[in-house]
Amino acid sequence: MSQSPKGHKEVMTGAKALVTLLEDRGVEVIFGYPGGANLPIYDELRNSSIQHILVRHEQGSVHMAEGYAKVKGRPGVCLATSGPGVTNLVTGLADALLDSIPVVALTGQIPRGMIGTDAFQEVDAFNITMPVTKHNELVKKESELVKAVDAAFYIANSGRKGPVLLDLPKDLLDEPYPYDLSETCSLPGYNPTTKGNIGQIKKALKAIEKAERPLLLVGAGVESAGAMSEINALIRKLQIPVVRTLMATGVLSFDDPLYLGMIGTHGNGLANRLVNKEADLILIAGAKLSNRSLLRADLFGKDAKLIQLDIDPAEIGKTIEIDIPIVGDVKETLRDMLLRIEDKPIRVGVTPWIHGEHQKTKTMLPKADAAEVMEWVCQELSKIDLKMHVTTDVGRHQMWANHHMTNPKHLPLITSGGLGTMGFGLPAAIGAWFADPQSPVVNLTGDGSFMMNMQEFIVAVEHHVPLTVIVFNDFRLGMIKELQDSSYGKRHIAHDFNKEVDFPLLAKAMGGEGRLVVRREEIAEALFEAIHSRRPNLICFDLERIHLRSAINLAEKAS
């Protein structure tokens, strides 16, 4: 990777070595926040080609790096200081770990001589972040720095991707040392399998050929492996019906006859019935099958042959037993499958075995509390025929968006599935824009989630990001109420926001534009105008008033 001549040593500070290495790897942008311990890096960034984006809270920096990585397919980089800087990263790192997003996090640490003395802004970053990263390292020696940076990028972006953190003591960053920037890491214990075993592939194809009611279940691993075209080729070849997980939006167009919906707690009844009852074979591609995907773990594929394809051997059979495991990169393995089918065609065009396709749009989402308004907004948004990156936050609106955002140009949705982090969407949208400045970005959010990281809106204003924040305002933590309704006998507490927030005014206060929408007829126009303005702006949809007015309108028309 490094562009430095092999074996050549040059005296420079650790910070200079670090920034040069980042430049050599093509890092274009770093999302960060300064503090005493990482100032040496900042001092070097002044003279660097790398653009630094000053976030307003370190959590925002990781989510921006995640959004960037999702769109760019390369690790996003974030930077924080020691102590509170690194503790503020923890949520974002955990988010990236659970959704397998490549992020390289750099943190300043207090000088080596003071480590362990409870010095000012000292926390044990290594141990705090160990369980929320794919790998982390406290760089204790100058001679380790170059290799550690190489390893961080390699580990983050290979195998099952994920966040890697390097903790960098301030004195190491400050002091000169003869660095050899051409050094590379050696990781004898890290050999991600990429080639699926051909014997297993043959077995899988045989089983598919024998099956009468085969089904393909697609997870986010397919997109992460860049295997969207391969999976589509396989679907076409086999004419196999498809269901997906929450994270795998955009695998097939919603009106494709082979697409049959989403599985899991927030999925479609039909899709769940297929995996739990009707299919006699399920080919699972890049899905970790967590408790949220398995509506009934005891029923999932009970009478079906299960084939699981995953880059991570530890995912195979983790929650359910698998008949034919294939460990390998999804893209390479699907290619091998397709080649194999070319060579030895298998019976294609399975007899259409699924009845009731008309049900595929029926979701299991409760319609209460004016929730349909979210559907109307998503439908209108889906009519905007522009390439856009759309993020969501966490709550009811996330699930409604998941079912009703149907324009392939807006998919896959960028959403926090594994950790379910409220406050993910806004910074992730900003990060996504830095990866693809041609396309506007949209954040679909709830009033609760928006308030978790709303300070980052200023970053969008500062950098003229064509961002539209869509706040579905239900004046409460909607999903919490939903859970209290369904599981706690409608005993309510701690979900109502008793004070109304003027969200458009907030956006204006931060230098953006804001608009409140209270009528259904306004939805389309408000969205069109906001997105085409290519300016940072916020639309607050008042779910209750829109709902009420449209009901009154209907009643008036009827009478």
Partner 1 sequence: MKSKIEGRHVIALEVEDKPGVLTRISALFSRRGFNVESLTVGHTHQPGVSRFTIVVVGAEAELEQVRKQTQKLINVLKTFHVLDQEEASDLELTQGGAKNVQHAVMRELALVKVHYDKESARQINHIVERFSARMLHWSGEDLVLEFSGTEAKVDAVFEELKQVTVLESVRTGKVAMSIETK
- Positions annotated as catalytic residues are 58, 120-121, 170, 479
Instruction: Please choose which of partner 1, ligand TPP, none residue 276 contacts, taking the beta carbon within 5 to 8 angstroms, the exact cut-off set by kind.
Output: none
Q: Which is nearer to partner 1, 130 or 509 (CB)?
A: 130
Instruction: Please choose which of partner 1, ligand TPP, none residue 321 contacts, taking the beta carbon within 5 to 8 angstroms, the exact cut-off set by kind.
Output: partner 1
Parallel, antiparallel, or unpaired: how do β-strands 467-473 and 537-542 relate?
parallel
Q: Would you count residue 315 as binding ligand TPP (CB under 6 A)? A: no
Instruction: Please choose which of ligand TPP, partner 1, none residue 348 contacts, taking the beta carbon within 5 to 8 angstroms, the exact cut-off set by kind.
Output: none
Instruction: Please choose which of partner 1, ligand TPP, none residue 474 contacts, taking the beta carbon within 5 to 8 angstroms, the exact cut-off set by kind.
Output: ligand TPP
Burial-class residue 307 by CB neighbours within 10 Å (0-12, 13-18, 19+): buried
Q: Would you count residue 454 as binding ligand TPP (CB under 6 A)? A: no
Least separation in angstroms between CB 123 and partner 1: 15
Q: Would you count residue 261 as binding ligand TPP (CB under 6 A)? A: no
**CA distances to 42, 102, 153, 301, 308 from 75, in Å:** 20, 5, 7, 35, 27
Q: Would you count residue 447 as binding ligand TPP (CB under 6 A)? A: yes
Instruction: Please choose which of partner 1, ligand TPP, none residue 135 contacts, taking the beta carbon within 5 to 8 angstroms, the exact cut-off set by kind.
Output: partner 1
Least separation in angstroms between CB 470 and ligand TPP: 11
Least separation in angstroms between CB 363 and partner 1: 33
Instruction: Please choose which of ligand TPP, partner 1, none residue 187 contacts, taking the beta carbon within 5 to 8 angstroms, the exact cut-off set by kind.
Output: partner 1
Least separation in angstroms between CB 238 and partner 1: 30
Contact track, ligand TPP, 466-485, x by CB under 6 A:
------x-x--xxxx-----
Least separation in angstroms between CB 94 and partner 1: 13
Q: Which is nearer to partner 1, 131 or 345 (CB)?
A: 131
Considering only CA atoms, which of 419, 1, 427 is closest in space to residue 184?
A: 1
Q: Would you count residue 27 as binding ligand TPP (CB under 6 A)? A: no
The Cα 58–Cα 64 span in angstroms is 10
**CA distances to 181, 364, 480 from 489, in Å:** 63, 19, 13
The Cα 301–Cα 306 span in angstroms is 7
Angle between helices 372-382 and 396-404 (to 10 degrees): 40
Least separation in angstroms between CB 422 and ligand TPP: 4
- Alpha carbon 481 to chain centroid distance? 25
Q: Which is nearer to ligand TPP, 434 or 472 (CB)?
A: 472
Instruction: Please choose which of ligand TPP, partner 1, none residue 389 contacts, taking the beta carbon within 5 to 8 angstroms, the exact cut-off set by kind.
Output: none
Q: For residue 290, give every residue at least 6 positions away whose Cβ sits within 8 Å of its Cβ, in sequence order, or none.
A: 319, 418
Least separation in angstroms between CB 435 and ligand TPP: 24
The Cα 29–Cα 78 span in angstroms is 9
Q: Would you count residue 264 as binding ligand TPP (CB under 6 A)? A: no
Q: Would you count residue 427 as binding ligand TPP (CB under 6 A)? A: no
Q: Would you count residue 88 as binding ligand TPP (CB under 6 A)? A: no
Q: Would you count residue 13 as binding ligand TPP (CB under 6 A)? A: no
Q: For residue 428, give every residue at least 6 positions away whose Cβ sits within 8 Å of its Cβ, in sequence order, or none.
A: 63, 64, 66, 67, 70, 391, 414, 416, 443
Q: Which is nearer to partner 1, 135 or 409 (CB)?
A: 135
The Cα angle at residue 354 between residues 352 and 357, in degrees rounded to 5: 115
Burial 482-521 (b: 16+ CB within 10 A, else e): bebbeeeeeeeeebeeeeebebbebbeebebbbbbbeebe
Q: Which is nearer to partner 1, 126 or 497 (CB)?
A: 126
Q: Would you count residue 266 as binding ligand TPP (CB under 6 A)? A: no
Spell out the alpha helix ranges (H) of 11-74. Answer: 14-24, 39-45, 58-72
Least separation in angstroms between CB 442 and ligand TPP: 16
Q: Which is nearer to ligand TPP, 393 or 456 (CB)?
A: 393
Tokens of 457: 């809106």
- Per DSSP, the three-state class of 378 is helix
Contact track, ligand TPP, 384-423, x by CB under 6 A:
---------xxxxx----------------------xxx-
Q: Which is nearer to partner 1, 134 or 476 (CB)?
A: 134
Count the helices and strands in the chain (H runs, E runs).
22, 19
- Alpha carbon dihedral 254, 259, 264, 265, in 10-degree steps, equals 40
Least separation in angstroms between CB 63 and ligand TPP: 12
| End-to-end CA gap in the chain | 72
Considering only CA atoms, which of 476, 481, 410, 478 is closest in space to residue 440?
A: 410
Binding stretches for partner 1 (CB under 8 A) = 126-127, 130-131, 134-135, 138, 140, 151, 155, 187-190, 312-314, 318, 321
Q: Tokens 């993020």 — which residue?
A: 391
For CA atoms 520, 521, 527, 533, the dihedral sign is: negative
Residues that bind ligand TPP (CB under 6 A): 393-397, 420-422, 446-449, 472, 474, 477-480
